[in-house]
Structure 1
C-alpha cells in the first residue's frame, strides 16, 4: 500500500476565549476571570508551540510513508497551505510550517482581507427561502431536545454561582438548567442560538482553554472541576452546542457546501500527477463539525479528549494506492492531542505520537485496516453537494394552468387570483434562492481562483528570490576570487627581496 496524497483539515490551535470582558463571561458570574496574554480569539504563544510540535510529528509521519524526505525542503508545488483569514488560523498554519519544514520557503495562502471570513471557511446560510428556514429551525430544535443537558447545566450554575451573576439581576427565576433556547438560521449569517446553550458553551470553552493553556489548577474554573467525569459532563454542553447548530444534516449540507466543493476540487477534480501531495487547510470547529455531518461520518469517540473537535486536531483525508490490485483507496483519520498532551505541552514524535482514530463514512464501508473505495468516497462528496447551490437540483418545469372559463363564478375567479399570487410568491422565492446560490457559487469560485493565483505568485516570488540569491552568491564568489588573487600577488611581491643598488662612482677632480 502506497500513500500518494494527503489533505489535512485542521482546527486552529490554542487561543484565548472568544468572549472578553463585558461579554457573556463577565455577565455570567461575579467571580474574577484570569487574564490572558493575548486578545480574545487570538492564538496564544503556547498554541504556537503546540502547533510546531504537531507540524514536526506530521513531517516525521509523512517521511515514514515516503511522501516527503527528511533533511530537505520539499518542492513548493508538492505542499499547499491554505488558512482562513483570521489571526488564529493564519498563525496556526505558519507555526505548522515552522515545525514541519523549518527554513523552507512555504507560503500560507489566505485572502487579503485579514479579520474577515474567507467564503470557503465561512459556515453561513445562503438559502433565504422560508422552506429552508423552517427545516433548519426544526432540525436544530430537535437536536437540542435530544441533548439531556440538565445535570451538566446544574453543575455549571454552581461553578459560576449563576444566580448571583449580573445576568440575573432583578430576575426572580434565573437559571441555565430550565431556560429556553431560541435558534436562528438567517440568510447570510451563521446558524445561531440565544439562551443557556450559548452561555454554557462560552463558559465551558473558557474553562477548557484555561486547562490547555496550563493555568494553575486553582484558577481553572476556580478549582471547581476536580474529576475526569466532571470534565466529560461539562464537555457535553460544548459538544451539544456544536451538534445543535452545525451537525444536523439539513444545516450541515447548506453551510459546509463551499468547503466540501473545495476539498472535492483538490482530491478529485485535479489531475493526480499535478495535484499537491500534501495540503493543509486551517479553519474552525464549525467547519469540521459541519463537514463530517455533510459527509455522513459515523459517530466516533476520541479517547483522551472529551471534545468532538479538539483544539489543533486534524481530519486527514489520505489517498492510498493498492499496487497489487491497481486501485485507489481512501482512509480518513482524526489526528489530535489528548487533553493532557495539550496541557503538558508534550513534544510529539513517532515514539510519542498524537492520537489517531479512523473515521468511517456511511456510504463508504471500510475494511479491517480502515480503507474504503475511492470511488465511493467521490460519491459521498457528490452526495454532500446534491441539492446545494454548488450542485443544484434540476427544477421541474411548471405545470400548465388551465385557461379560466369565460363565465367562471366569482369563487373560481378568487381562487385563480389566490393561486396566481401563490405562484408569484413561489417564483419570487425561487428567484431569490437562485440569486443567493449564484452568489455563493461565485464567491467560492473567486476564492478558489485567488488561492491558485496566490500559489502561482508565491512560486514566482520564490523562483525570483532563488535566482537573485544565486546571482548574489556568484558575484560574491567572483569578487572574493579577484580579491584573493590580488592579495596573493601582493604577498608574492612583498616576499621577493629587493635588488641591492650599485655604489656610486667617485667623482673625478679636474
Structure 2
C-alpha cells in the first residue's frame, strides 16, 4: 500500500502534467513579463564600512564598485541562451526569425549592472538580432529611474510611524542570533575598529534603527545593515569564483553555514522591502508600469515579451505588494537570487476564450553561478511555480486572469493606514 501511495504522489508531482496542459491545443502562451535581477556584480561598499568591521584584508575586486563583472556578463549570456530555448518550447516567438520591437521590449534600470545584464541577456537570447535595451540616459550618475527606484514616496508622519512600527515588529520575529555570532567570528569583530573605537562590539544585542525618509530607500541601520553588507560580499565572492581561501577567508565550508549566514540578508530584505505597508508604497511605480503594459496590454511594442532588469528590492517589494504566498527556492540561499527572474505568463484558452496567469521563479542555483556552466536541458535553470494569495492556482499552477487583475488593482489602491 505504501508503495502505491508513493507512486501516486510522485505522479502528482511530475512536471509532465503541467507540460501536457501548456501544450494542449486549447492553451496558447500569448504574453510574458520577466522581472529580472541583474547578474553577478562587484560589492557595493559604503563609506569603507567593511574595512572598519574587520582587521582582515578584504580580497581585491577588479571591477568597479557595484558594476557587473565579466563573469556576470558571461553567465547572463548563458541565461539568455537558455531562455531562448524556453521561449521556443513554449511557442512564444517564431524560431525562424529575429523578433522586432512589436514582439520584444527590454527595459533596464539606468545602472551599469542592470544595463549590462540586459545587453548580455539579449546577446544570448537573440544573437545577431537588432534587439535594443531601453534605459533612461537623461538622468545623472547614481540617480535611479523612478520606475525601479525602491524609495519612499509618502512623507506623512503617520506613514513613517506605521512603517517603522511594522518593520520593527517584523525584525522582532527573526531569529538571527546564531547568524550574527558566525559573522562576528568570521570578521574577528571584537578586534575591529567598529568595536574598539565606535563601541559596536555585540551584533546580537546592539539595537537597530529603522529609517524612513521620502525619496530614499527604507533602511535598517545597525547590526542588521552591517551584517547584510558583509554576507553580500561573501555571496558575491562565491558567485564570482574566488578561490576557496578568499571566500570569507576560507571560513565557510558547508551549505548549512551559507544558509545560516543568508538568514541575515534575507531578513534585511524582509524587513526593509517586504513589510506590507512599505512594499505597497515603494513598489507602486513599478506595479503601475506592469499593470499598464502587461495586465492592461496598452502598449503596442513588446506585446508578446517584456523583460525588465532591476534589483532584488524590486522583486521583493512587488511580490509583497501583490501578496505572493510564501515560497522556497531549492539549491539557493537567497530569496531573490542573482540572475533570478520572476516570470509572469498570460495563457489563453481558445476553447473557453479565457485568460489565465502562471508565475514561475526561474533562477540559477548557487553551484551554477559559481561554476558558470552552460545551461542546457540537461543542466537547466531551477524553476518554482508561485501563487498569489488572492489568485488560487490549480494543479498546473494556473489562476484565473480576472483574479490576478483584482490582486493588481488592490495593490494599486491608495494607502490605507492600519489601526
Fold-level similarity (TM above 0.5): yes
User: Is 1:266–2:293 an aligned residue pair?
Assistant: yes
Contact 2:276-2:320 within 8 A present in 1 as well? yes
Cα gap change, 1:173 to 1:26, in 2 (>3 Å) = closer
In structure 1, distance between residues paired with 2:396 and 2:342: 17
In structure 2, distance between residues paired with 1:94 and 1:273: 22
Report the equivalent of 1:4: 30
In structure 2, distance between residues paired with 1:226 and 1:351: 27
Contact 1:60-1:70 within 8 A present in 2 as well? no
Contact 1:87-1:115 within 8 A present in 2 as well? no
**Structure 1 residue 168: Cα displacement:** 1.3
**Structure 1 residue 271: Cα displacement:** 4.8
**Structure 1 residue 77: Cα displacement:** 1.4
The within-5 A match list for 1:19-38 is 19=45, 23-38=48-63
Point out where structure 1 has 5 or more consecutive residues left out of the alignment. 394-510
**Structure 1 residue 239: Cα displacement:** 0.2
Cα gap change, 1:368 to 1:297, in 2 (>3 Å) = same
**Structure 1 residue 172: Cα displacement:** 6.0
Q: Secondary structure at the match of 2:227?
A: helix
Report the equivalent of 2:235: 208
User: Is 1:82–2:107 an aligned residue pair?
Assistant: yes
Report the equivalent of 1:92: 117
Point out where structure 2 has 5 or more consecutive residues left out of the alignment. 1-26
**Structure 1 residue 270: Cα displacement:** 2.2
Report the equivalent of 1:13: 39
Report the equivalent of 1:290: 317
Contact 1:55-1:99 within 8 A present in 2 as well? yes
Contact 2:105-2:302 within 8 A present in 1 as well? no
Q: Secondary structure at the match of 2:30?
A: strand
Report the equivalent of 1:151: 178
**Structure 1 residue 378: Cα displacement:** 0.6
Report the equivalent of 1:327: 354
Q: Secondary structure at the match of 2:160?
A: helix
User: Is 1:73–2:98 an aligned residue pair?
Assistant: yes
In structure 2, distance between residues paired with 1:350 and 1:265: 34
The within-5 A match list for 1:331-342 is 331-342=358-369
Report the equivalent of 1:371: 398
User: Is 1:225–2:252 an aligned residue pair?
Assistant: yes
User: Is 1:308–2:335 an aligned residue pair?
Assistant: yes
In structure 2, distance between residues paired with 1:10 and 1:275: 16
Q: Which has the higher helix share?
A: 1
Deviations 1:476-501 (A, max 9, x none): xxxxxxxxxxxxxxxxxxxxxxxxxx
Contact 2:356-2:400 within 8 A present in 1 as well? yes
Cα gap change, 1:172 to 1:292, in 2 (>3 Å) = closer
Contact 2:292-2:299 within 8 A present in 1 as well? no
In structure 2, distance between residues paired with 1:199 and 1:172: 14
Q: Select the structure of larger CA radius of gyration.
A: 1
In structure 2, distance between residues paired with 1:172 and 1:342: 37
User: Is 1:42–2:70 an aligned residue pair?
Assistant: no
**Structure 1 residue 134: Cα displacement:** 0.5
Contact 2:297-2:303 within 8 A present in 1 as well? no
**Structure 1 residue 171: Cα displacement:** 5.7
Report the equivalent of 1:120: 147
CA RMSD, 1 decimal: 1.4
In structure 2, distance between residues paired with 1:73 and 1:172: 60
Moved over 3 A (4+): 170-173, 271-275
Deviations 1:388-416 (A, max 9, x none): 4xxxx8xxxxxxxxxxxxxxxxxxxxxxx
**Structure 1 residue 351: Cα displacement:** 3.0
Report the equivalent of 1:51: 76
Deviations 1:218-274 (A, max 9, x none): 110001011101100000000000000010110000000001110001112225887
Cα gap change, 1:176 to 1:182, in 2 (>3 Å) = same
Give the one of 360, 364, 384 matched to 2:411: 384
In structure 1, distance between residues paired with 2:375 and 2:200: 49
Q: Secondary structure at the match of 1:218?
A: helix
User: Is 1:106–2:131 an aligned residue pair?
Assistant: yes
Point out the more displaced range, 239-248 or 275-284.
Answer: 275-284
**Structure 1 residue 75: Cα displacement:** 2.2
Deviations 1:278-303 (A, max 9, x none): 11100000111100000000110000
Give the one of 140, 157, 174 matched to 2:167: 140
Contact 1:92-1:282 within 8 A present in 2 as well? yes
Paired positions, count: 388
In structure 1, distance between residues paired with 2:43 and 2:298: 41
In structure 2, distance between residues paired with 1:107 and 1:200: 38
Report the equivalent of 1:487: none
